[in-house]
């Protein structure tokens, strides 16, 4: 709740997009620093990711783990809201940059932590799309195939 309070003071309204995106990683890092009463020397998502991966900044590592858990919670909520039990496809440029870290992160914990709905989430597959240009590939397919 402390993170929500900090982000709400900064932005007024806090949506998922304030946390679960590249800029959101920076927002989360700064909030963690404020809670711990320490400086937040890193000023870009890619620096936070790099410092977490090379273990040169424990705050960055903690933040990246928390980011993954929140992403899991959001994805799990999406499955329950939309009934997408056939699978979740995580796309975008962030996850492929730290896939090994992600696979060891609390993402799955956040994804499955849904009380009595846990068995449903445990049986829902999650895929990380490693292709960097899925949007362009989809657009190309739509141009080439009028049935898309």
Question: Each residue of 92-129: pLDDT tens digit?
Answer: 888 998 999 999 999 999 999 999 999 999 999 999 99
Q: Is 84 helix (H, G, I), strand (E, B) or coil?
A: coil
Is-above-0.85 flag for pTM?
yes
Q: 70: closest CA among 9, 14, 122, 135?
A: 14
User: What does the domain layout of the chain look like in residue ranges?
Assistant: 2-144
Tokens of 94: 């962030």
Q: Are 121 and 112 in contact (CB under 8 A)?
A: yes
The full length of the chain comes to 148
Is 2-144 CATH 3.40.50.10090?
Answer: no
Q: Cα 144 to chain center, whole Å? A: 32
């Amino acid at each position: 709740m402390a993170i929500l309070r900090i982000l709400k003071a900064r932005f007024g309204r806090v949506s998922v997009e304030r946390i679960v995106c590249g800029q959101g990683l920076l927002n989360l890092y700064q909030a963690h620093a404020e809670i711990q009463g320490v400086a937040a020397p890193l000023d870009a998502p890619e620096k936070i990711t790099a410092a977490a991966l090379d273990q040169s900044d424990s705050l960055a590592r903690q933040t990246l783990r928390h980011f993954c858990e929140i992403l899991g919670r959001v994805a799990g909520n999406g499955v329950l809201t939309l009934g997408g039990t056939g699978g979740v496809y995580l796309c975008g440029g962030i996850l492929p940059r730290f896939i090994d870290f992600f696979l060891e992160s609390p993402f799955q914990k956040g994804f499955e932590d849904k009380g009595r709905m846990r068995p449903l989430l445990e049986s829902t597959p999650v895929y990380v799309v490693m292709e960097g240009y899925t949007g362009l590939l989809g657009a190309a397919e739509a141009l080439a195939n009028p049935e898309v």
